[in-house]
Amino acid sequence: MMLTKDELTAAILASAAKLGKTPTRGELMKLAGATPRNVRKHFGTYQRAMESCGLEINGPGKKVEVQTLFRDWTGIVRSLKKVPSVVEYEQLSRYSVRPMLRMFGMWVNVPDGMKMYIEEKGLADEYKDILDVIEYRATHEGGAPKMSVPTSVPILKDRPMYGPLLQGCPLVFAPTNEAGVLFLFGAMAERLGFLVLLVQTAFPDCEVMRVVAENRLQPLKVEVEYQSRNFLKHMHDIKGCDMIVCWEHNWPECPLEVLELKSLVKQWGGDQDKIG
């Protein structure tokens, strides 16, 4: 049924009053009997339809906070008892998928990113049900494999931790954290064809010039991570950086260029048996 503009406006307002909030696309279709075609005909977009009715919505150009997206996504997971598909998220969320894709690159990366956020913020007890759903997806629906951590060997808390021994390298032992990777990248940068312009604590970590041809260089924004997948954990915006420099590349679906230093150290004459 094709609603008139006045009928659609009244239906949107009635849906908002019933829900006590701005209706999602799916809720609008269900409660108001409207169709995407109705919305496109009278308002052009869902966002314009909500704004014309005086309802608040986060549209393009408005940054949605990580905490807001996290609460929204986990609420949908609890409602569905599973990780939502793109279509399900669009139907049930107040937001489009764009903020998620800017943050995680691809939809398949969202569950792992949310898991890392839960662990980093110390929310494992409060969101145990969400972690269980993510774990089920990983083991039964083809998600990323779970990484195992050895527990049989005691770790002494009163002394530092070293990585495997490196040879033919400015760093004696393999890095065990992001700071070590940053040092190693700086030491290897010129040989790799990079000139470092800036190192900072803000995202991204470095601004560099890369040699791309004889007498030709291009600027790049570089984020340094111990493992490439940590980019998800830190919830960086993929549009804010051109390359990830890491010690270990464990994010095969990464939409950015990745430079894995571990492989380069091996190629440059390190003892492969001693590089973990």
Q: Is residue 264 part of a domain?
A: yes
Q: What share of the chain is helix, strand, coil (3-state, %, to 5)?
A: 45, 15, 40
Q: Is residue 76 part of a domain?
A: yes
One-letter identity of residue 37: R
* pLDDT of 271: 42
Nearest CA-CA partner of 178 in 221, 230, 222: 230
Q: What's the domain count of the chain?
A: 3
Indicate if 91 and 45 belong to the same structural domain. Answer: no
Indicate if 25 and 74 belong to the same structural domain. Answer: no
Q: Is residue 120 part of a domain?
A: yes
Per-residue model confidence as pLDDT tens for the chain (276 residues)? 678 888 888 888 888 778 777 888 788 888 777 787 888 888 887 777 877 777 766 544 455 678 888 999 999 999 999 999 887 887 788 777 777 877 777 788 889 889 988 988 899 999 999 999 998 887 776 544 444 455 566 777 888 877 777 766 778 888 999 999 999 999 889 888 899 999 999 999 999 999 888 788 899 999 999 999 999 888 888 999 999 999 999 998 899 999 999 988 877 654 434 444
Indicate if 81 and 118 belong to the same structural domain. Answer: yes
For residue range 68-103, what is the model confidence (pLDDT) as tens digits?
A: 889 999 999 999 999 998 878 877 887 777 778 777
* pLDDT of 126: 93
Which residues are bridge partners to 213 per DSSP? 216
Cα(52)–Cα(105) distance, rounded to whole angstroms?
32
Q: How many CB atoms lie within 10 A of CB 52?
A: 15
Can you give the residue range of the structural domain that contains 193?
A: 178-274
- Beta-carbon contacts of residue 136 (< 8 Å; ≥ 6 apart): 82
Q: What's the pTM value of the predicted model, to 2 decimals?
A: 0.51
* pLDDT of 151: 57
